[in-house]
Amino acid sequence: MKIAPIALALAVATGGLSGCTQTSLLKTVSGNAASAKVESPILAGTARIAVSLDGKTYVGAAGEAHKDTTGEQALRFGWDPTHKHPYIKQEMNFLFGSTILKAPDGTQLACDHLRHGDDWRLRCKRPDNGEVVLQRVRE
């Protein structure tokens, strides 16, 4: 078996996947006051976030994420403490970050984000000092 064709096939596959993203649709826990779309690169890169709220769409990149070592952020974002997948190595890896999203008119929306595997959750501060919580659409 020749190594060169295998290496070439792997390089092509990796190159092909480098442009691929996974899209997550998020909505509010209750009602339809807001929605969001998160596009995460499959291999490496920064996720793009778009939040539709009060007739505006705020967009931007996810901020740098840090591991939630205490579990406090996971609870803040609504994860059940008994949440378990017994055979998954990264079971309790929650990555927490913050970002500022911008609308075309220049207004800004401050959001915290939490990612657990491919599951994203957002907590955004509304301009009226309220907060909107968004999580993955489950159908």
Q: Which residues contact 81 (CB under 8 A, 6 or more apart)?
A: 71, 75
Query: Cα(112)–Cα(37) distance, rounded to whole angstroms?
Result: 14
Query: Which residues, given as ranges, of the chain have pLDDT below 50?
Result: 11-17
Q: What is the pTM of this model?
A: 0.76
Provide the pLDDT for residue 12.
47
Q: Is 74 exposed, middle or buried (0-12, 13-18, 19+ CB in 10 A)?
A: buried
Provide the pLDDT for residue 49.
94
* Token code pair at residue 139: 């159908």
Provide the pLDDT for residue 20.
79
Provide the pLDDT for residue 13.
47
**Count of Cβ atoms closer than 10 Å to residue 37 Cβ:** 16
- At 103-138, the pLDDT tens digits run 999 999 999 999 887 789 999 998 778 899 999 876
